[in-house]
Amino acid sequence: GAVVSQHPSRVICKSGTSVKIECRSLDFQATTMFWYRQFPKQSLMLMATSNEGSKATYEQGVEKDKFLINHASLTLSTLTVTSAHPEDSSFYICSAGGGAGNTEAFFGQGTRLTVV
């Protein structure tokens, strides 16, 4: 399958700071990328959908000003958690869809965010 790379895999940041997570499709052009969040012992919840060159669409209950999503190119989407709080500590994972012949989305490895 196609390869999606997510970076960093782990990050620790202080409360009040911002942290950026990158999601790259390495061998295909991703017209659409998705961001998920997973709290301990829970499932993955879709946060937002981003299409290259347009504003992201956020799921209900997700603060768009807190979770900034940029999809500036067909191979890169970024999620920035602004003014992070300990409650934002979670596992964030992206997926990417698109490219010739691909009929499903492919997932990155995930990012473990810890806010202290």
Q: Can you tell me the distance from the alpha carbon of 19 to that of 90, in angstroms, rounded to the nearest whole number?
A: 13
Q: Count of alpha carbons within 13 Å of 115, Cβ hemisphere only?
A: 17
Going by their DSSP bridges, the two strands 67-73 and 57-58 should be labelled as unpaired
User: Is 110 a residue that touches another protein (CB under 8 A)?
Assistant: yes
User: Is 94 a residue that touches another protein (CB under 8 A)?
Assistant: no
As beta bridge partners, residue 37 has: 45, 92
Q: Residues 77, 97, 113, 115: which binds another protein (CB under 8 A)?
A: 97
Q: Residues 34, 35, 58, 67: which binds another protein (CB under 8 A)?
A: 34
Shorter beta-carbon distance to another protein: residue 80 or 114: 114
User: What is the distance in angstroms between the CA of the first residue and the CA of the last residue of the chain?
Assistant: 36
Q: Give me the residues that bind another protein (CB under 8 A), please.
A: 1, 32, 34, 36, 41-46, 49, 59-60, 91, 93, 95-98, 103-105, 107-110, 112
